[in-house]
């Protein structure tokens, strides 16, 4: 079956400059996609639309939604989804998985160091400013040994494929990376709509995430605890990721709690239950550092638990991720990742870093100011794609504004060359056809004591606006089921 | 020789409406260190709520209280008795050459080890125009310079209560030139740090029998790290080196790390708070 006969892809326009995930250099369908291409091609676009609509409404009916901040009225949205999956073969996946573990381990060692001896700074490998001017460095964590020696239990490493065909890491999210529930829901939705396609591929399961997460969290239980009691703490139902919090608690088989459901007595944490207080040993917290304990951090926080940090400091409870982990989530730290990996693990980085210019260095600042149209300018401390400017999309006035902002506060910005994210055929409602859209991949790595787990799959995020490079859901991104193939 | 001190700390809170849920954390217990030794610690509250002895994020002892019944007023009273060894603040040898100690504070290892106490925090950031108002004379030892800074701060600021509060920053203090012990200590820390010397804010009690400033609240002073000597206490409010009359509770980067009382009270309407501190000494 050739391209012309394929009904569903007959109008697919392929821009040869972009790296298309399903075509090879010669314009032929890649082997791993051929079967899928044929199977989908057997349907008419009308059949496909019907299935896709059904799948989407099932998301809404199940309440798999998120909210966007900063809009006048916050409203629930579904994460746009399409039924054409992304496939990653075993060899490519192997690189991603080893790379993600390597980074997570290196970051864990980095965190230990910056809260203990600070050797990496004394050895001159990274500058002191990484901690002294980071808003996320928590002095209260200095000298604390987190249970099991783990800071970043859960890391969300975002990777892209550049037009050179290589994977690059865009950022390491190690505060409260979200999105894993969509990975599982996308798989469920696809199975429901097109069960048959799974018969033709040997795909790794993604539904084992929750059990692995619980398993590994339990390896970091506090000393002296036999069978730890784990809970998931959420800021509440108005949080943009509430669905995920409830989903994870449910699938891990643990309680979902809010701050007011817990209390601290004599430096131990308890959950209020109708059967009386129940001691809590591990808290998977989806609340930011500043809000976890109003007696230690922000006093206006109604989300946290008074006394929680004292319990943590005494080693009576595990917090995942550990407080203060955000210092390594800083985009300025990202730029030192190759050196950090080398320093702690004595290994070469498996995944590439995107070259980064530090606006805090005078010579690099000069380069950035002169080359804004070729660069992406990012604030170092914002998450969710907020505040990112892509140089070649800016008007002259916007360029001047950015220059001014960067000059006023150089430490706040880094710049990177504009990476060309690979594209993947994505169903677009407006044109009722498949079009090329940029994609990235958020991977999920869990570190336990001497054990680690990477979810074989991940969240392929799609920038739905044509030509757009920012894939975050808060910026109008969609997602795809992602298959990792067994050999 | 040592002296026995008896410290009483009282606080009273009144609320217009019923309070159903409240948490407090007191950072008022004197630190146990090589000059301070406990005889007894006693803490009471009018609601009979359990006192939980714990630590804060920096490891200093705290008392946490969470009443389990609704209330409109609550009072706290703490009594501490401790033995304080006679402190001679000049009891050290300067030893090392002046040049070497200035080299020491330039070393990366030194800067990294003392990083938190060299940082510009909310309360210890000098206005740009004032960053050079006190510069060390490197012909003299670091200790001599710190003594001079202590004196300079004492002269530069007039002690006056009621014009500054816990939110006042250095900008206002330098321009208006008055403040209380907190403000003196923040200014001292800021200028010591500006000159490369690690400095920390100290909260504690001052025995006022000798006519010092410090009012009947908790007192604040500073400690600066002098290479080869260690942390030395300076009380810029009184132009003194910290001595036997200075009873330390906690230290931190600034007031925010040491505030004696943190509370989360779920209540609507007005409330009033009052504190009182008394320090008595018995010669032994």
The CATH T-level fold of domain B2-85+260-283 is: Immunoglobulin-like (2.60.40)
Amino acid A64: pLDDT: 72
Residue among A148, A101, A164, A110 at smallest CA distance from A333:
A110
Bigger pLDDT: A78 vs B152: B152
Query: Rounded mean pLDDT of B225-251?
Result: 93
Residue A404 lies in a domain: yes
Residue A448 lies in a domain: no
Confidence of residue B9 (pLDDT cuts 50, 70, 90): very high
Structure tokens at A239: 């949080």
Judge if A263 and A340 occupy the same domain: yes
Amino acid B284: pLDDT: 55
Judge if A144 and A255 occupy the same domain: yes
Number of H helices, E strands in chain A: 13, 22
Q: What is the pLDDT of residues B104-138, one digit of tens each?
A: 999 999 999 999 999 999 999 999 898 899 999 99
Amino acid A429: pLDDT: 83
Residue A258: give its domain's CATH number. 3.40.50.11290
Q: What is the share, in percent, of chain B residues with pLDDT greater than 90?
A: 65
Residue B249 has pLDDT above 70, yes or no: yes
Residues whose CB falls within 8 Å of the CB of residue A380, separated by 6 or more in sequence, listed in order: A330, A331, A332, A411, A412, A413, A414
Amino acid A138: pLDDT: 96
Find tokens 């591990």 and name the residue.
A282
Residue A103 has pLDDT above 90, yes or no: yes
User: Residue ranges per domain, chain B?
Assistant: 2-85+260-283, 98-258
E-strand ranges in B56-169 read 61-65, 71-85, 158-159
Residue B94 has pLDDT above 70, yes or no: no
Residue in B54, B58, B59 nearest the CB of A267: B54
Residue B215 has pLDDT above 70, yes or no: no
Among A345, A377, A405, the domain boundary falls at A345
Laid out side by side, the sheet with B261-266 consists of B51-55, B61-65, B21-26, B261-266
Judge if A255 and A279 occupy the same domain: yes
Neighbours of B32 (CB within 10 A): 12
Interface contact flag, B23 A306, Cβ < 8 Å:
yes
Residue in B108, B111, B264 nearest the CB of A295: B264
| Residue from A262, A305, A310 to probe the interface with B (highest B Cβ count within 10 Å) | A310
Q: How many independent structural domains does chain A possess?
A: 2
Judge if A132 and A217 occupy the same domain: yes
Residues whose CB falls within 8 Å of the CB of residue A335, separated by 6 or more in sequence, listed in order: A353, A356, A358, A414
Residue A230 lies in a domain: yes
Residues whose CB falls within 8 Å of the CB of residue B140, separated by 6 or more in sequence, listed in order: B98, B148
Task: Using DSSP, state whether A84 is helix, strand or coil.
Answer: strand
Judge if A337 and A412 occupy the same domain: no
Find tokens 């239950």 and name the residue.
A273
Residue among A467, A461, A470, A469 at smallest CA distance from A79:
A461
Handedness of CA B66, B70, B74, B79 (dihedral sign): negative
Residues of A in contact with B57 (CB under 8 A): 138-140, 296, 309-310, 313
Residue A288 lies in a domain: yes
Q: Does B121 touch chain A (CB under 8 A)?
A: no
Residue A415 has pLDDT above 50, yes or no: yes
Judge if A242 and A308 occupy the same domain: yes
Amino acid A209: pLDDT: 96
Among A371, A393, A417, the domain boundary falls at A417
Interface contact flag, B23 A140, Cβ < 8 Å:
no
Structure tokens at A460: 């392929």
Judge if A232 and A381 occupy the same domain: no
Amino acid A66: pLDDT: 66
Residue in A118, A140, A295 nearest the CB of B112: A118
Query: Rounded mean pLDDT of A53-72?
Result: 72
| Residue from B113, B118, B264 to probe the interface with A (highest A Cβ count within 10 Å) | B264
Judge if A300 and A388 occupy the same domain: no
Lowest-pLDDT range, A119-128, A209-218, B213-222? B213-222
| Residue from A139, A267, A314 to probe the interface with B (highest B Cβ count within 10 Å) | A139
Residue A146 lies in a domain: yes
Q: Does B58 touch chain A (CB under 8 A)?
A: yes
Q: What is the share, in percent, of chain A residues with pLDDT greater than 90?
A: 61
Q: Does B103 touch chain A (CB under 8 A)?
A: no
User: Do B119 and B35 contact (CB within 8 A), yes or no?
Assistant: no
Structure tokens at A179: 């999105």
Q: Does B263 touch chain A (CB under 8 A)?
A: yes
Amino acid A299: pLDDT: 85
Residues of B in contact with A313 (CB under 8 A): 55, 57, 59
Residue A370 lies in a domain: yes
Confidence of residue A1 (pLDDT cuts 50, 70, 90): very low
Judge if A235 and A363 occupy the same domain: no
Q: Chain A residue closest to B61 (CA)?
A: A310
Judge if A379 and A331 occupy the same domain: no
Residue A4 has pLDDT above 50, yes or no: no
Structural domain that includes position A368: 355-417
CA torsion A178-A477-A157-A204 (nearest 10°) is 80
Q: What is the pTM of this model?
A: 0.91
Task: Using DSSP, state whether B238 is helix, strand or coil.
Answer: coil
Lowest-pLDDT range, A40-54, A178-192, A465-479? A465-479
Amino acid A474: pLDDT: 61
Mean residue pLDDT across chain A = 90
Bigger pLDDT: B279 vs A102: A102
Residue A133 has pLDDT above 90, yes or no: no
| CATH tag, B98-258 | 3.10.620.30
Residues of B in contact with A140 (CB under 8 A): 57-58
Judge if A218 and A115 occupy the same domain: yes
Strand partners, B74: B13
Q: What is the pLDDT of residues A272-321, one digit of tens each?
A: 999 999 999 999 999 999 999 999 998 888 899 999 999 999 999 999 99
Query: Rounded mean pLDDT of B168-195?
Result: 92
Residue A476 has pLDDT above 50, yes or no: yes
Q: Does B32 touch chain A (CB under 8 A)?
A: no
E-strand ranges in A258-392 read 262-265, 268-271, 278-280, 282-285, 318-320, 352-353, 357-358, 375-379, 389-390
Q: What is the pLDDT of residues A344-377, one digit of tens each?
A: 999 999 999 998 898 888 999 999 999 999 898 9
Judge if A113 and A235 occupy the same domain: yes
Where is mean pLDDT largest: A49-53, A164-168, A386-390?
Answer: A164-168
Amino acid A473: pLDDT: 60
Query: Rounded mean pLDDT of A77-94?
Result: 89
């Amino acid at each position: 079956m050739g391209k012309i006969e394929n009904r569903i892809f007959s109008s697919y326009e392929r821009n040869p400059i972009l790296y298309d995930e399903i075509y090879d250099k010669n314009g032929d369908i890649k082997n791993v996609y051929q079967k899928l291409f044929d199977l989908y091609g057997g349907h008419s676009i009308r059949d496909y639309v019907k299935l896709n609509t059904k799948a989407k409404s099932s998301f809404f009916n199940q309440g798999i939604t998120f909210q966007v901040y900063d809009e006048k009225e916050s409203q629930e949205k579904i994460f746009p989804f399409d039924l054409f999956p992304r496939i990653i073969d075993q060899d490519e996946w192997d690189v991603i998985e080893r790379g993600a573990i390597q980074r997570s381990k290196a970051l864990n060692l980095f965190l230990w160091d910056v809260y203990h001896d600070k050797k990496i700074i004394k050895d001159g490998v990274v500058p002191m400013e990484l901690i002294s001017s980071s808003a996320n460095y928590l002095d209260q964590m200095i000298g604390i040994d987190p249970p099991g020696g783990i800071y970043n239990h859960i890391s969300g490493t975002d990777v892209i494929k550049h037009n050179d065909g290589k994977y690059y890491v865009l950022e390491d999210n190690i505060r409260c990376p979200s999105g894993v529930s969509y990975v599982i829901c996308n798989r469920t939705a696809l199975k429901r709509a097109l069960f048959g396609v799974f018969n033709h591929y040997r795909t790794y399961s993604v539904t084992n995430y929750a059990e692995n997460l619980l398993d590994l969290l339990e390896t970091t239980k506090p000393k002296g605890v036999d069978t730890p009691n784990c809970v998931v703490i959420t800021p509440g139902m108005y949080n943009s990721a509430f669905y995920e919090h409830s989903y994870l608690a449910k699938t891990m088989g643990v309680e979902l709690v809010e701050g007011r459901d817990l209390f601290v007595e004599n430096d131990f944490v308890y959950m209020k239950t109708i059967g009386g207080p129940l001691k809590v040993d591990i808290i998977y917290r989806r609340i930011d550092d500043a809000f976890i304990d109003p007696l230690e951090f922000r006093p206006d926080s109604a989300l946290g638990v008074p006394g929680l940090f004292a319990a943590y400091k005494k080693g009576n409870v595990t917090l995942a991720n550990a407080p203060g982990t955000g210092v390594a989530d800083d985009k300025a730290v990202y730029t030192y990742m190759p050196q950090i990996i080398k320093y702690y693990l004595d290994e070469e980085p498996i995944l590439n870093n995107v070259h980064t210019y530090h606006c805090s260095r005078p010579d690099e600042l000069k380069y950035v100011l002169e080359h804004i149209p070729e660069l992406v300018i990012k604030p170092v401390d914002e998450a969710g794609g907020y505040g990112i400017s892509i140089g070649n999309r800016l008007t002259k006035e916007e360029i001047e504004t950015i220059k001014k902002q960067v000059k006023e506060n150089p430490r706040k910005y880094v710049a990177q060359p504009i990476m060309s994210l690979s594209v993947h055929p994505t169903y677009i409602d407006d044109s009722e056809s498949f079009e090329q859209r940029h994609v990235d991949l958020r991977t999920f790595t869990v570190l336990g004591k001497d054990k680690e787990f990477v979810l074989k799959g991940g969240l392929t995020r799609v920038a739905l606006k044509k030509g757009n490079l920012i894939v975050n859901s808060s910026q109008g991104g969609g997602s795809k089921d992602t298959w990792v193939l067994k050999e | 020789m040592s002296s026995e001190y008896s410290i009483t700390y009282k606080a009273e809170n009144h609320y217009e409406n019923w309070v159903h849920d409240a948490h407090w954390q007191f950072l008022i217990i004197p630190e146990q260190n090589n000059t301070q030794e406990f005889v007894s610690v006693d803490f009471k509250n009018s609601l009979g709520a359990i006192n939980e002895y714990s630590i804060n994020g920096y490891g200093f002892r705290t008392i946490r209280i969470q009443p389990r019944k609704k209330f409109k007023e609550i009072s706290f009273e703490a009594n501490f008795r401790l033995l304080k060894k006679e402190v001679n603040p000049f009891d050290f040898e300067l030893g090392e050459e002046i040049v070497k100690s200035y080299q020491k504070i330039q070393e990366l290892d030194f800067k990294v080890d003392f990083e938190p106490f060299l940082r510009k925090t909310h309360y210890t950031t000098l206005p740009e125009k004032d960053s050079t108002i006190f510069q060390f004379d490197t012909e003299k030892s670091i200790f001599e310079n710190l003594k001079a800074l202590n004196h300079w701060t004492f002269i530069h600021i007039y002690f006056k209560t009621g014009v500054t509060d816990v939110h006042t920053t250095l900008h206002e203090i330098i321009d208006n030139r008055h403040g209380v012990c907190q403000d003196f200590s923040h200014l001292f820390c800021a200028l010591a740090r500006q000159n490369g010397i690690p400095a920390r804010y100290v909260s504690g009690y001052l025995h006022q029998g000798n006519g010092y400033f410090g009012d009947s609240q908790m007192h604040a002073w500073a400690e600066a790290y002098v290479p080869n000597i260690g942390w030395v206490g300076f009380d810029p409010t009184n132009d003194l080196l910290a001595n036997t009359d200075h009873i330390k509770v906690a230290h931190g980067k600034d007031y925010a790390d040491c505030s004696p009382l943190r509370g989360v009270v779920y209540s609507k309407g007005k409330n009033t708070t009052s504190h009182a501190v008394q320090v008595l000494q018995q010669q032994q």
